[in-house]
């Protein structure tokens, strides 16, 4: 599938805001997303393909205004790639299944992993029925 066909596919399935974040690597404003201050049990799934990416038991309040997690739901669920945009060096995180932009991971987390997966609410959907089973 070409990039244009891929973009058209996702434009038909996502809101303009979701498309901007998920397919164009946009960022929602801090403290504005649906999940930045939600701490219900469940699985956070990719908004595009439904893959389980994070579990609620790994979510913490980082004070940054975006949902933050200290680990992924399972090894290989999230891909990392260098991001040198905006004049800074960061590590972008993407859904390994469909390539959707999720946010960035930083080495400043307060837990034993030392990681903070900083995720846009528009890139995930909380599945409360899933519990913390991770799709198993």
Give the model confidence (pLDDT) of 18-75 as tens digits: 999 999 999 999 999 999 999 999 999 999 999 999 999 999 999 999 999 999 999 9
- What is the rounded end-to-end Cα distance, in angstroms, of the chain? 30
Consult the annotation and say whether 48 binds a ligand: no
Is the sign of the CA dihedral 68, 36, 46, 3 positive or negative?
negative
Dihedral sign from CA coordinates of 128, 17, 50, 31: negative
CATH 2.170.150.20 fits 3-130, yes or no: yes
Question: d(Cα 63, Cα 88) in Å, to the nearest integer?
Answer: 21
Give which of 75, 33, 38 is closest to 22, Cα–Cα. Answer: 33
Vertex 22: Cα angle to 126 and 32 (nearest 5): 60
What is the arithmetic mean of pLDDT over 94-105? 97
pLDDT for the residue numbered 134: 44
Q: Which residue has the tokens 């389980």?
A: 52
Residue 124 and residue 113: Cα distance in Å, rounded? 22
- Single pTM value for the model: 0.90
Is the pLDDT reported for residue 90 higher than 60? yes
Is residue 118 part of the annotated active site? The answer reads yes
Domain residue ranges in the chain: 3-130
pLDDT at 133 > cutoff 50 = no
DSSP string of 69-84, one letter each residue = ESS-SSTTSEEEEEE-
**22, 48, 64, 118: the active-site residue:** 118
The pLDDT assigned to 3 comes to 64
Q: Is 64 annotated as a binding residue?
A: no
CB 31 within 8 A of CB 56: no
The tally of CA atoms less than 13 A away on the side-chain side of residue 121 is 16
């Amino acid at each position: 599938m070409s990039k244009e066909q891929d973009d058209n596919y996702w434009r038909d399935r996502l809101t303009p805001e979701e498309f901007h974040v998920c397919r164009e690597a946009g960022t929602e404003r801090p403290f504005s997303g649906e999940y930045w201050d939600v701490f219900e049990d469940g699985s956070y799934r990719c908004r595009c393909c439904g893959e389980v990416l994070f579990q609620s038991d790994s979510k913490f309040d980082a004070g940054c205004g975006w949902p933050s997690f200290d680990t992924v739901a399972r090894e290989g669920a999230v891909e990392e790639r260098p991001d040198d945009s905006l004049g800074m060096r960061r590590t972008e995180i993407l859904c390994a299944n469909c390539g959707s932009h999720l946010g960035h991971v930083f080495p400043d987390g307060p837990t034993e992993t030392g990681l903070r997966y900083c995720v846009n609410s528009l890139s995930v959907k909380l599945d409360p029925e899933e519990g913390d089973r991770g799709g198993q």
